[in-house]
Structure formats: C-alpha cells, structure tokens
Amino acid sequence: MVTEKDVEHIGELADIGIDTSELAIFTGQFNAIVEYFDVLDRVHGDDAVARDLYNVMREDVVEPSLSQDEATRNAGAQEDGFIKAPRVM
C-alpha cells in the first residue's frame, strides 16, 4: 500500500513538484497501478542479463561538432556565452 507520504517523498526525489491538493489522486492511481505490478511476484528465475554483450566503446576522437553558439542557443539563461544554472550552494 502506497501512502500519500510515500508519493510526496517520491515526488521530492524526482523533483516533480507536487501540490498537497494533488496527493490524493496520484496516490489512488499509484495504488491501482502498483497492485497490477504485483503480478511480477509470480515471475520465477533470476537469469535476466545473460546476453552476448561486447564493448562498443572507442577511444575519444576530437571531431568537428556544434559551435558554442549552437550548443547554448536553446538555454533560457546565459551569460558571456555560458549557460546559467540555479545556485547549488
């Protein structure tokens, strides 16, 4: 059973910004969906990722790419050709 407090906590972790007025409806929907997910309890075995994988990474090679202007053009807040972000401290 997922509680409103759980949903509030998850909303905080996901930076989704939940109003207290939204908690009841999200919690109700969450419980219906999570209850449906419980069918996964009937899944047996634990061999999920036995695949033939190989490394496709390569050494980094510098190639022509976006200009600074192109790369920053969509940013809402800029200063001196750099992207401005909210304060972290």
User: Which residues, 6+ apart, have CB-to-CB distance to 31 below 8 Å?
Assistant: 1, 2
Name residues contacting another protein, limited to 35-54 (CB under 8 A): 36-37, 39-50
Helix (H, G, I), strand (E, B) or coil at 81: coil
* Smallest separation (angstroms) from another protein to the CB of 67: 9
Per CB under 8 A, the list member of 3, 24, 34, 82 interacting with another protein is 34
Q: Counting contacts by CB under 8 A, is residue 66 touching another protein?
A: yes
Task: Please give the helix or strand (H or E) that residue 82 lies within, else none.
Answer: strand 82-83
Q: Are 18 and 7 a contacting pair, CB within 8 Å? A: yes
* Smallest separation (angstroms) from another protein to the CB of 87: 6
Give CA–CA dist 29/3, Å, rounded. 11
Binding site for another protein (CB under 8 A): 2, 6-7, 10-11, 13-19, 26, 29-30, 32-34, 36-37, 39-50, 56-57, 66, 70-71, 73-77, 83-88
